[in-house]
């Protein structure tokens, strides 16, 4: 590698920024305005000053100091082993006198600082111009800003090529223009005579070393016009040209410096611009294939990608493995850029195999909400919900839920994708159902704390030596009290469905107090289903359930005979004449068949009849529910079980405990309502039916229609306490 470290003080958005180490491939990620482009500006300024160019200096970050500095530490370990004459063949303005400063025989470094004063002057920590020239020569800096590439003129690549190789020009010139050979060759003799006449007529300045190098390179090639697949650049698409320009630049850097002592640095800003995501991946793959081809011990160029592309980050991590790093740029409370080296090396093959764009995009998040499944994704991606929650920031409404990433995870992925593991400043929250931590032992009437995913025991050990009355001590005290209580307390159950002698909501609140502070976990009271269907929202849920039943069912008889041999007119007549023979349930099932929900045009009178049947049947169902489930608490539990939720004792219909511990008569009642009375809409009871979206949309519309806009959040809180609490946690952490 060429650069060992960079330190910036009091310039642009950097109060103090230190990057202690660079790998062969470095990705800088972060939201817009985090400071990525500022690093490029300062590197550009540093090298322009090295080359003696005049340029306005960057602004100071703060006025508490009258100057700012850019310090780059170079790795000179390899250079010090090479003889001077082998390095600088024809360059009299270069020197090696500065090489050899190191802590031991294996390491050699050189530190160079550029100081920028508030009066726009600047000075180097080293005054010797030969040293400065040598640094620029041995560690050249290149930049590619994808949005500013001249897509149809690649002449800048010749500049890159000329800086990557050193030739002994005296020997090269002798080989090219050997007078003895030239005099014997008639054509070359004419050439020399022609050049001599031009020299006698015009006056020119001497070629620079790099000009001469480039001249010889071009002479050796078939031409100097760049092509893509043997076609001119003008006929290619902008995306193709951008892709190939960046690819060609990086391939040249890697290939031409493979056995050279010149070790360049290249900064590629937003390489993904204009590229299809797959093209971005192909770009990194192509670079990787060049990188591993004929690999030697020679240091590679230092490549820096500043990117917003999950595709690029994913490919870099998966392909370059130990030779890459991800640097996360963000702003602190003082609006200064800070950098954190992300933990982006993964030894778990399982994780690398499933690591995709979905995981890589989390490196770019403002906030990550980790959830268990599809229902949570539905809730926290609900458009109506996103448009109702905002805070005032700088006189504008900030709809903060729109800026978060919601990610359905599992334990393998969560282990590596948590910002606490990857070492970023990205705030996050992990939302779990209660059964991730809690197990209700119905046999022994106890509550046990699981340790597979969340471990109270490890938290207890972690905090047991905390200072008295500190925040961590209070957490330890809470956990200790929970353990002490758990060992002594015997639970009492009602039908193995409810816990009689425990204020369960208060208990979960205490658990969350301990988990949130250290582990960033939030437990639902039971499941995500109860976040939506709870004792307060039950009134809204019943309204929605009725609306869904009435609006979703369509008749399956258009006046012609159906499979039962009856028309609507026939059914209408038979109900009037023989009410005891044609019951409501039979009529409903004929008109609204489970397997044939189509909309048919029928006479208005028949339409009114079918709608009346539907309304009467729904009332009949609700009457049956209220007869068998007499309290609101019982009705709530019924709906939770039907919609894949759990009882207060954390039992679901799919749970083995359901048939073992729940009364058979109760189970049969639930089954009858779900599979007989409501068989026409049983599709709703699937986790992927979209019921959560439909209900939440309905509930929000109901609240909006009966509430002033400024009071919406207060009203929402009354119906959805848990959901509101989660949303407020997100807002607090952003």
pLDDT value at residue 85: 45
**89 pLDDT above the threshold of 70:** no
554 and 683, same domain (yes or no): yes
Q: Is residue 252 part of a domain?
A: yes
Among residues of the chain, what percentage have pLDDT more than 90? 52
Is residue 498 scored above 90 in pLDDT?
Answer: yes
Q: Which residue shows structure tokens 């960033």? A: 520
Confidence band (pLDDT; 50, 70, 90) for 429?
Answer: very high
Give the residue with greater pLDDT, 174 vs 11: 11
> What separation in angstroms does the CA of 618 have from each of 537, 543, 585, 588, 598?
20, 12, 10, 10, 20
pLDDT at 341 over 80: yes
Residue by residue, DSSP assigns 248-310 as HHHHHHHHHTTT-S---EEEEE-TTTT--HHHHHHHHHHHHHHHHTT--SSPPPEEEEE---H
Instruction: Give, as one character, the DSSP assignment of residue 79.
Output: G
Residue 105 has pLDDT above 60, yes or no: no
Instruction: Based on the fold, state whether residues 193 and 302 are members of the same structural domain.
Output: no
CA distance 57 to 53: 11
Give the domain-ending residue among 327, 350, 373: 350
Q: Domain range spanning residue 59?
A: 3-154+226-350
- 3-class secondary-structure state, position 621: helix
- pLDDT, residue 721, reads 96
In a domain, 481, yes or no: no
Within a domain: residue 368? no
Q: Is the pLDDT of residue 106 over 60?
A: no
Q: How many domains does the chain have?
A: 3
pLDDT in tens, 6-65: 999 999 999 999 999 999 999 999 989 999 999 999 999 999 999 999 999 999 998 888
Name the domain boundary from 653, 670, 689. 689
43 and 75 inside one domain: yes
With a CB cutoff of 8 Å and minimum separation 6, the contacts of 375 are 528, 529, 687, 692
Residue 82's pLDDT is what? 61
Instruction: Read off the pLDDT band of 646 (50, 70, 90).
Output: very high
Residues 107 and 250 in one domain: yes
* pLDDT surpasses 90 at 71: yes
**Are both 230 and 210 inside the same structural domain?**
no
- Whether 107 maps to a domain, the answer reads yes
Question: Regarding predicted confidence, which is higher, 572 or 381?
Answer: 381
Confirm whether 31 is domain-assigned. Answer: yes
Q: Are residues 561 and 642 in the same domain?
A: yes
Residue 396 forms beta bridges with which residues?
393
Same domain, 233 and 216: no
Asked which of 18-32, 434-448, 561-575 is least confident by mean pLDDT, the reply is 561-575
Do residues 266 and 156 touch, judged by C-beta distance below 8 A? no
Instruction: Please report the pLDDT score of residue 579 as a whole number.
Output: 63
If you average pLDDT over residues 471-492, what whole number do you get? 79
Query: What's the pLDDT tens digit per position in 485-496?
Result: 777 789 999 999
What confidence tier does 731 reach under pLDDT thresholds 50, 70, 90?
Answer: very high
The pLDDT of residue 7 is 98
Are 203 and 251 within one domain? no
- Residue 285 pLDDT > 70: yes
Least confident of 39-53, 366-380, 478-492, 707-721: 478-492
- Residue 484: per-residue pLDDT: 78
Give the pLDDT band (50/70/90) at residue 212. low
Where does a domain end: 303, 333, 350? 350
Work out the pLDDT band at 98, boundaries 50, 70, 90.
low
pLDDT at residue 729 is higher than 60: yes
Q: What is the mean pLDDT of residues 294-304?
A: 79
Residue 724 to residue 722: CA distance in whole angstroms:
5
In a domain? residue 114: yes
Q: Tell me, what CATH number does 39's domain have? A: 3.40.50.300
Alpha helix segments (H runs only) across 101-168: 129-138, 156-162
Q: Is residue 192 part of a domain?
A: yes
Q: What is the pTM of this model?
A: 0.84
Q: CA-to-CA distance for 423 and 416, rounded, in angstroms?
A: 10
Mean pLDDT of 244-266: 86
Q: Residue 604: pLDDT above 60? A: yes
Query: Do 44 and 147 fall into the same domain?
Result: yes
Cα 346 from Cα 311, distance rounded (Å): 17
Tens of pLDDT, residue by residue over 666-713, are 999 999 999 999 998 888 898 889 999 999 999 999 999 999 988 999
The answer to whether residue 176 scores a pLDDT higher than 70 is no
Tokens of 664: 């058979």
pLDDT score for 101: 45
Instruction: Write down the pLDDT at residue 224.
Output: 65
Distance CA 136, CA 49 (A): 10
CA distance 454 to 435: 10
How many residues in the chain?
Answer: 734
Domain membership of residue 288 (yes or no) is yes
Q: How confident is the model at residue 102 (pLDDT cuts 50, 70, 90)?
A: very low
On whether both 298 and 242 belong to a single domain, the answer is yes
Q: Give the residue-averaged pLDDT of 145-150.
A: 86
| pLDDT, the chain, mean | 85
What is the rounded distance in angstroms from the CA atom of residue 49 to the CA atom of residue 376?
54
Question: 340 and 203, same structural domain?
Answer: no
66 and 206 assigned to the same domain:
no
Whether 237 shows a pLDDT value over 80: the answer reads: no
């Amino acid at each position: 590698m060429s650069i060992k470290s960079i330190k910036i003080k009091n310039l642009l958005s950097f109060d103090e920024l230190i990057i202690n180490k660079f790998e062969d491939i470095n990705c800088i990620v972060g939201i817009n305005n985090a400071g990525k482009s500022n690093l490029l500006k300062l590197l550009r300024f540093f090298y322009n000053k090295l080359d003696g160019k005049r340029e306005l200096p960057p602004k100071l970050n703060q006025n508490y100091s009258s100057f700012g500095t850019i310090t780059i530490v170079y790795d000179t370990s390899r250079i010090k082993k090479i003889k001077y004459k082998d390095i600088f063949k024809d360059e009299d303005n270069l020197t090696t006198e500065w090489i050899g400063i190191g802590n031991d025989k294996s390491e050699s470094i050189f530190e160079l600082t550029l100081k920028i004063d508030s009066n726009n002057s600047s000075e180097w920590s080293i005054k010797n111009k030969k040293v400065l020239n040598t640094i620029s020569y041995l560690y050249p800096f290149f930049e590619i800003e994808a949005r500013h590439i001249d897509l149809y003129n690649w002449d800048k690549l010749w500049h890159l090529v000329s800086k990557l190789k050193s030739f002994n020009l005296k020997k090269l010139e002798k080989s090219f223009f050997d007078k003895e050979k030239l005099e014997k060759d008639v054509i070359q003799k004419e050439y020399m005579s022609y050049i001599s006449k031009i020299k006698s007529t015009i006056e020119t300045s001497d070629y620079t070393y790099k000009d001469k190098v480039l001249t010889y390179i071009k002479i050796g090639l078939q031409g100097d016009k760049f092509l893509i697949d043997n076609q001119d650049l003008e006929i290619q698409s902008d995306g193709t040209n951008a892709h190939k320009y960046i690819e060609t630049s990086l391939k040249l850097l890697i290939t031409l410096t493979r056995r050279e002592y010149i070790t360049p640095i290249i900064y590629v800003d937003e390489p993904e611009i204009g590229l299809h995501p797959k093209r971005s991946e192909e770009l990194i793959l192509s670079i990787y294939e060049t990188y591993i081809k004929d690999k030697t011990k020679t240091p590679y160029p230092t490549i820096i990608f500043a990117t917003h592309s999950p595709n690029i980050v994913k490919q870099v991590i998966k392909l370059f493995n130990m030779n890459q790093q991800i640097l996360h740029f963000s702003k602190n409370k003082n609006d200064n850029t800070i950098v954190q080296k992300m933990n982006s090396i993964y030894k778990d093959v399982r994780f690398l195999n499933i690591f995709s764009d979905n995981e890589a995009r989390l490196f770019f998040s403002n906030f990550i909400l980790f959830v268990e499944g599809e229902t949570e994704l539905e809730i926290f991606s609900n458009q109506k919900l996103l448009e109702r929650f905002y805070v005032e920031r700088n006189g504008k409404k900030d709809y903060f839920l729109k800026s978060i990433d919601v990610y359905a995870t599992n334990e393998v992925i969560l282990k590596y994708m948590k910002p606490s593991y990857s070492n970023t400043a990205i705030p996050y929250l992990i939302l779990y159902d209660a059964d991730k931590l809690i197990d209700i032992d119905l046999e022994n009437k106890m509550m046990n704390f699981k340790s597979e995913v969340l471990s109270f025991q490890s938290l207890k050990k972690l905090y047991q030596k905390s200072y008295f009355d500190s925040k961590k001590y209070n957490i330890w005290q809470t956990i200790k009290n929970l353990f002490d209580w758990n060992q002594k307390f015997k639970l009492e159950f009602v039908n193995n469905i409810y816990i009689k002698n425990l204020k369960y909501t208060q208990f979960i609140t205490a658990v969350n107090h301990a988990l949130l502070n250290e582990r960033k976990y939030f437990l639902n009271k039971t499941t995500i289903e109860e976040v939506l269907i709870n004792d307060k929202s039950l009134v809204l849920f019943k309204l929605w359930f009725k609306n869904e039943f009435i609006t979703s069912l369509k008749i399956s008889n258009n006046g012609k005979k159906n499979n039962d041999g009856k028309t609507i007119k026939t059914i209408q007549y038979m109900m009037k004449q023989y009410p005891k023979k044609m019951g409501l349930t039979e009529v409903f099932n004929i008109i609204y068949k489970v397997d044939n929900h189509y909309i048919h045009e029928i006479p208005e009178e028949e339409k009114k009849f079918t709608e009346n049947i539907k309304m009467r049947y729904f009332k009949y169902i609700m009457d049956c529910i209220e007869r068998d489930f007499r309290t609101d608490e019982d009705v709530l539990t019924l709906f939770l079980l039907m919609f894949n939720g759990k009882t207060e004792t954390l039992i679901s219909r799919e749970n083995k405990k359901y048939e073992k511990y729940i009364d058979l008569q109760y189970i049969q009642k639930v089954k009858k309502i779900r599979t007989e009375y409501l068989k026409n809409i049983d599709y709703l009871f699937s986790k992927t039916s979209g019921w959560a979206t439909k209900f939440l949309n309905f509930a929000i519309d109901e609240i909006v229609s009966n509430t002033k806009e400024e009071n919406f959040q207060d009203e929402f809180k009354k119906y959805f306490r848990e959901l509101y609490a989660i949303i407020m946690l997100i807002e607090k952490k952003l």
